[in-house]
Amino acid sequence: MLPQGVKKTITDNPKKLANLIDLVNLPSTLREFVGQSRISRLGCFMHVWSYIKTNNLQDPNNKNVVNCDKNLRSILMGKPQVELVELPALIKLHFPKEPK
């Protein structure tokens, strides 16, 4: 029923942890949105989520859906509507794995 890996916290995997909390230089679109030139993936998620909350962008009929405003659309691939389920994945797109 449930994936086995979920219970294990990623915090004991240093690589995955770094991927989440390391500061990354941002592309210009994102830089405008967060108002910082560097942010971590976690920080970015928090920023976007709090932006959604403060601007009441959740659809009143279905809270699981976010109606994007102009700013949000600019960073979420221009989608007019996104589901909360895909939010982390969409934000992850801005933080590609560094080619080693």
Partner 1 sequence: MGKIPPTFRPAISTNSLLKTQNPTTTTQPQKPPRHFNNNKNNKNKKPTSKKPDFDGTKKLPVLFKSPDLSEAKKVFNSIVTTNQTQTPLDRSFYNSVLQSYTSISTVDNSISLLNHMIKKTPTFSPDRSTYHILLSQSCKVPESDLSSVQKTLNFMVNNGFDPNPGTTDIAVRSLCSVDRVDDAVELVKEMCLKKCPPDVYTYNFLIKCLCKCRALSTVYSFIDEMRTSFDMNPNLITYTILIDNVCNAKNLREAMRLVSVLNESGFKPDCFVYNTIMKGYCTLSKGSEVIGVYKKMKEEGVEPDLVTYNTLIFGLSKSGRVSEAKKFLKIMVEAGHFPDAITYTSLMNGMCREGEVEGALALLEEMEAKGCSPNSCTYNTLLHGLCKSRLLEKGIELYGAMKEACMKLETACYATFVRALCRVGRVAEAYEIFDYAVESKSLTDVAAYTTLESTLKWLKKAKEQGHAV
Size of residue set near partner 1 by CB under 8 A: 25
Q: 29-33: long-range contacts (C-beta < 8 A, 24 or more apart)?
A: 29/74, 29/75, 30/75, 30/94, 32/74, 33/71, 33/72, 33/74, 33/75
Q: Is 14 in the site for partner 1 (CB under 8 A)?
A: no
What type of residue is 98?
A: E
| 10 near partner 1, rule: CB under 8 A | yes
**Of 22, 77, 83, 93, which one interacts with partner 1 (CB under 8 A)?**
83
Q: Which residues bind partner 1 (CB under 8 A)?
A: 2-3, 5-7, 9-11, 17, 20-21, 42, 45-46, 49, 58, 63-64, 83-89
